Chains A and B, each alone.
Chain A
Amino acid sequence: DIQMTQSPSSVSASVGDRVTITCRASQGISNWLAWYQQKPGKAPKLLIYGASSLQSGVPSRFSGSGSGTDFTLTISSLQPEDFATYYCQQANSSPSFGGGTKVEIK
């Protein structure tokens, strides 16, 4: 099984801040990495697929990078609607998710 480790588990930030979340796979997964945003009581929403491709309709302040085992999700300028929990997911083999990163208001 491929394990996905996210860090940090939570981050406090202010509107306008640049926020970076990292995800590490226990073995190489090429670019088979997706990022999701989840708000309380709602289903996850796909933000990034293929490690760096922006899903249609997702604001350009979200970006993804990385390949192999180390990946990053960056929010360039945090907006009020971005306070949520973010999950990475590897799609290389049997899917698995990271533990999540909660982005909270500072």
Chain B
Amino acid sequence: QITLKESGPTLVKPTQTLTLTCTFSGFSLSSSGVGVGWIRQPPGEALEWLALIYWDDAKRYSPSLKSRLTITRDTSKNQVVLTMTNMDPVDTATYYCARRYTNNWDAFDIWGQGTMVTVSS
């Protein structure tokens, strides 16, 4: 069974750095064609892709947020970590991690349950 689970703070203050961890099981991020991405969704709004990391450690970022994001992986722990600097109230959202697989035309086939992050002083 493939699962992903997000963890991190539920409340951060403006200007702080957010660090989120995605812990997964049932697949390996070292396997060819596998990636893990982060997607967020502000309350009542649409999904927004943030970042991706691939089996070969290649990384991609949303052009609009690239300067604020860093994605890393720890294959021994089956974890992917996203950091977002200079948080603002507009970054309040549910943050999801999801597996991306080339066999599925690079769709996000398995998602975590999401973690809600509120940015407020």
Stretch at the interface among B10-18, B25-33, B109-117: B109-117
Chain A, interface size category, equals 20 to 34
Stretch at the interface among A20-28, A68-76, A97-105: A97-105
Chain B, range 29-61, C-beta contacts under 8 Å to A = 37, 39, 46-49, 52, 60-61
- Distance, CA A47 to CA B39, complexed state (A): 17
B114 touching A98, Cβ below 8 Å: no
A44 touching B49, Cβ below 8 Å: no
28 A-B residue contacts at CB 8 Å? A34-B105, A34-B107, A36-B47, A43-B98, A43-B113, A44-B96, A45-B111, A46-B104, A46-B108, A46-B109, A46-B110, A49-B104, A49-B105, A49-B109, A50-B104, A51-B105, A55-B107, A87-B47, A89-B47, A89-B107, A89-B108, A91-B105, A94-B60, A95-B49, A95-B106, A97-B46, A97-B47, A97-B48
In the complex with contacts A94-B62, A97-B48, A98-B46, A32-B105 CB distance below 8 A: yes
Q: Taking chain A's interface residues, is the majority helix, strand, or loop, or is none over half, making it mixed?
A: loop
Task: Say if the beta carbon of A65 comes within 8 Å of chain B.
Answer: no
- Distance, CA A34 to CA B104, complexed state (A): 9
Chain B, interface size category, equals 20 to 34
Q: Taking chain B's interface residues, is the majority helix, strand, or loop, or is none over half, making it mixed?
A: strand
Contact with A99, one of B46, B98, B112 (Cβ below 8 angstroms): B46
Task: Say if the beta carbon of A63 comes within 8 Å of chain B.
Answer: no
In the complex with contacts A43-B114, A96-B49, A97-B49, A91-B62 CB distance below 8 A: no
Q: Mark B74-100, 1 if CB is under 8 A from A, else 0.
A: 000000000000000000000010101
Residues of B within 8 A of A34 (CB): 104-105, 107-108
Residues of A within 8 A of B105 (CB): 31-32, 34, 49-51, 53, 91
